């Protein structure tokens, strides 16, 4: 794997040392059995402490796949009907209405939804929820009506109107946070406790939590803002809340990248972990298939709040679907990622992919806003491309 190390080290070095750079990066690659590459370069805080493999990241929406996993476990046990009303398990979702615009006085125009939200729709992002940094209606609710941002982890941040009737189309948003509330209703426990008991402990995952220990805080990377001049400014006062009111299943976890690789390996092994199964193989088989109903499709994410996100589109021009935990690329990607592979990202420019064909997965972690940072995202694409070039002789067992 010398070629893999040389190629990837060069990409990481360029990312942290170029004229346009990221402060620091941790990038890793795994096969079914072990990590085959780990690279660490740059700083946790620009011109500050060095990045290390055990650096803690705000992993944002890479949390979603973990929350989906505990929901799938509920399905396996017959405790969760994906097509029953989600209000069966999270009753307070039933009060939400559809927003049809704003009146002349600026007040929201609301009506009852034509059908009830299901957990299947929440998992697939077809329930009607969005994000204020990707949707102008939600952005207006934040700016004009005091709707709390999801980064507050307040219950009120989830009590948003629906953008459309449940099931009508795909829109990326807070559905997985609601899945977390469904899981809490099924299990009768906080989401963090469920995940700890049913995913982290079986996989031996440490240093991953909704609330950081003091030791984790001391190793946490600072999020940086990229300004109009492409410079980087540390956001020392910006962090996801520890001891949140709600464990946000869509984005709330902190963790180290070596620990997340254990989760990726579980999927590469058809649901098996080192201490036994986390998911059944037949669950994995149906859960990773694209499940949107045409004309529903994964679309570009418009960056309506430039401080938090640029326009974001994974593999423009290629068809993409959504499985229960992941995005699915339906065509081979320019990087070499095969059709049918899985992946997603986190707001501060963390990216991962899971290739079940070649039993290969990777994670690229930086802490930069806005999302779809051209420096970090381009380097991630280069990193993934280098991985496939260096491992082109790998074949599935």
Classify residue 395 by burial, with Cβ atoms within 10 Å: 0-12, 13-18, 19+. exposed
Specify which residues 354 forms β-bridges with. Answer: 342, 361
List the beta bridge partners of residue 321.
Answer: 328
- Annotated active-site residue 395? The verdict is no
Alpha-carbon Rg for the chain, nearest whole angstrom, is 20
Helix (H, G, I), strand (E, B) or coil at 219: coil
- Which residues fall within 8 angstroms of residue 63, CB to CB, at 6 or more apart? 176, 248, 249, 250, 251, 252, 253, 346
Residue written as token pair 């001891």:
243
- Please give the structure tokens belonging to residue 249: 């299943």
> In this structure, are residues 318 and 290 in contact, taking their beta carbons and an 8 Å threshold?
no
Pairing of strands 368-369, 224-226: parallel
Of 107, 60, 61, 117, give the one whose Cα is nearest residue 86: 117
Compute the distance between CA of residue 354 and CA of residue 166 in angstroms, rounded to an integer. 29
8 Å CB contact between 88 and 79: no
Instruction: Please provide the DSSP assignment of 151-182 as one string.
Output: GG--GGGG-PPBSS-TTS----STHHHHHHHH
Structure tokens, 35: 């990590």
Cα–Cα distance measured from residue 300 to residue 314, given in angstroms and rounded to the nearest whole number: 8
For 7: left if phi > 0, alpha if psi spans -120 to 50, otherwise beta; the answer is: alpha
Among 37, 61, 131, 260, which one carries the catalytic annotation?
A: 61
172 classed as catalytic: yes
CA atoms of 65 and 4, how far apart (whole Å): 27
Catalytic option among 89, 131, 138, 172 = 172
Q: Tokens for 17?
A: 């040392």
**Residue 275 Cα to chain centre, angstroms:** 25
Assess whether 61 carries a catalytic annotation: yes
Active site residues: 61, 64, 172
């Amino acid at each position: 794997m010398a070629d893999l190390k040389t190629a990837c080290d060069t990409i990481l070095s360029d990312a942290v040392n170029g004229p346009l750079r990221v402060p620091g990066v941790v990038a890793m690659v795994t096969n079914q059995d072990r990590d085959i590459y780990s690279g660490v370069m740059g700083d946790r805080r620009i011109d500050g402490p060095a990045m290390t493999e055990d650096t803690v990241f705000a992993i944002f929406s890479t949390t979603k796949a973990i929350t989906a996993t505990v929901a799938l476990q509920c399905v396996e046990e017959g405790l969760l009907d994906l097509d029953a009303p989600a209000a069966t398990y999270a009753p307070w979702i039933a009060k939400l209405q559809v927003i049809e615009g704003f009146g002349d006085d600026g007040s929201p125009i609301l009506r009852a939804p034509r059908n009830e939200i299901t957990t299947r729709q929440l998992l697939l992002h077809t329930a009607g929820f969005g994000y204020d940094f990707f949707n102008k209606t939600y952005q207006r609710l934040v700016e004009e009506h005091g709707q709390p941002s999801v980064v507050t982890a307040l219950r009120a941040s989830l009590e948003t109107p629906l953008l459309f009737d449940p099931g009508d189309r795909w829109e990326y948003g807070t559905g997985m946070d609601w899945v977390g509330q469904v899981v809490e209703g099924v299990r009768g426990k906080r989401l963090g406790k469920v995940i700890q008991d049913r995913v982290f402990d079986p996989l031996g995952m440490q240093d991953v939590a909704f609330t950081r220990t003091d030791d984790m805080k001391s190793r946490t990377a600072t999020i940086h803002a990229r300004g109009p001049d492409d410079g980087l400014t540390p956001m020392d006062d910006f962090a996801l809340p520890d001891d949140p009111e709600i464990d946000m299943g869509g984005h709330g976890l902190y963790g180290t990248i070596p620990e997340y690789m254990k989760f990726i390996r579980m999927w590469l092994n058809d649901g098996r972990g080192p201490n036994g199964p986390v998911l059944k193989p037949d669950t994995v088989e149906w859960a990773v298939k694209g499940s949107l109903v045409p004309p529903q499709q994964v679309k570009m994410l418009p960056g309506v709040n430039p401080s938090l996100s640029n326009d974001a589109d994974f593999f423009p021009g290629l068809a993409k679907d959504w499985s229960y935990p992941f995005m699915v690329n339906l065509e081979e990607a320019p990087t070499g990622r095969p059709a049918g592979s899985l992946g997603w990202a986190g707001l501060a420019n963390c990216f991962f992919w899971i290739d079940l064909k070649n039993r290969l997965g990777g994670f690229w972690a930086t802490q930069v806003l806005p999302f779809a940072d051209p420096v970090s995202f381009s380097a991630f694409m280069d990193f993934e491309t280098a991985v496939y070039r260096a491992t082109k002789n790998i074949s599935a067992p």
